[in-house]
Amino acid sequence: IIISPVIYFSWDAVKGTSGSDYVESVVFILMAGFAMSVCYLFFSVLEKVINARKSKDESIYHD
């Protein structure tokens, strides 16, 4: 009983979208994915640099 209005509303929203809405959503998804990839790469490189400095500092103190 509750699902039928949701399905009707969803289908009505799909019918109301135009081609430009699809293009905008694809561009937004691609930009969000690109931003997440850049953040991932930045933080993974930052982690490697921090770990390299920690191991370098530890080797200096242990000698």
Distance of CA 2 to the CA centre of its chain: 32
- Amino acid identity at 15: K
> 3-state DSSP: the chain helix, strand, coil percent, rounded to 5?
90, 0, 10
In tens digits, the chain (63 residues) has pLDDT values of: 455 655 556 666 666 667 777 788 888 999 999 999 999 999 999 999 999 988 877 776 665
Rounded CA-CA distance 34/17 in Å is 25
Domain ranges of the chain: 18-62
Residue 45: the pLDDT is 96
What contacts 53, CB < 8 A, 6 or more positions away?
Answer: none
